[in-house]
């Protein structure tokens, strides 16, 4: 019998998106926020005012990367910074647009991967982390 799999619901994704946009507004930063399901498929995308045009695709890539690798993208960025530069060509090895940059986190519930969320384009990589982590903390993920 196949194992039942779980995915983030639209309602949960919308609630998480609201928490992320609230955080971005509180910090007065632009940005794009992407939420994907456990397969990396886009569920929600929010692009805040004054966000650079490339941020949406970067956020989607970060979220898909966090879901595919089942870990925060900061972990992958650190691997690259520690010298494993072949990680930079991940997206040329597959049809996925993997982005090993901080700001993407998997969403877990009872040890099941539900999806992932990512923030890009705040104009400060540390602030990408702050917004996404505040959103996850706010929703108890």
Per-residue pLDDT of the chain (141 residues; tens, 9 = 90+): 666 668 899 999 999 999 999 999 999 999 999 999 999 999 999 999 999 999 999 999 999 999 999 999 999 999 999 988 877 777 666 666 789 899 999 999 989 999 999 999 999 999 999 999 999 998 776
* Element (DSSP H or E) covering residue 10: helix 10-26
The domain spans of the chain are: 10-138
10-138: CATH topology: Beta-Lactamase (3.30.450)
Tell me whether strands 104-109 and 32-37 are parallel, antiparallel or unpaired.
unpaired
Q: For residue 119, what are its two tokens? A: 């923030």
What is this structure's pTM?
Answer: 0.92
pLDDT in tens, 76-107: 999 999 988 877 777 666 666 789 899 999 99
The count of residues in the chain is 141
């Amino acid at each position: 019998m196949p194992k039942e799999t779980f995915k983030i619901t639209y309602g949960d994704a919308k609630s998480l998106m609201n928490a992320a946009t609230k955080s971005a507004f509180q910090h007065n930063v632009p940005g794009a926020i992407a939420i994907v399901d456990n397969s990396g498929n886009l569920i929600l995308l929010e692009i805040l005012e004054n966000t650079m045009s490339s941020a949406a695709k970067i956020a989607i890539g970060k979220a898909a990367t966090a879901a595919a690798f089942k870990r925060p993208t900061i972990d992958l960025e650190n691997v690259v910074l520690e010298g494993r530069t072949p990680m930079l060509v991940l997206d040329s090895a597959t049809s996925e647009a993997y982005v090993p940059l901080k700001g993407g986190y998997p969403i877990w519930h009872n040890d099941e991967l539900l999806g992932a969320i990512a923030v890009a384009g705040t104009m400060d990589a540390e602030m990408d982390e702050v917004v996404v982590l505040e959103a996850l903390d706010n929703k108890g993920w």
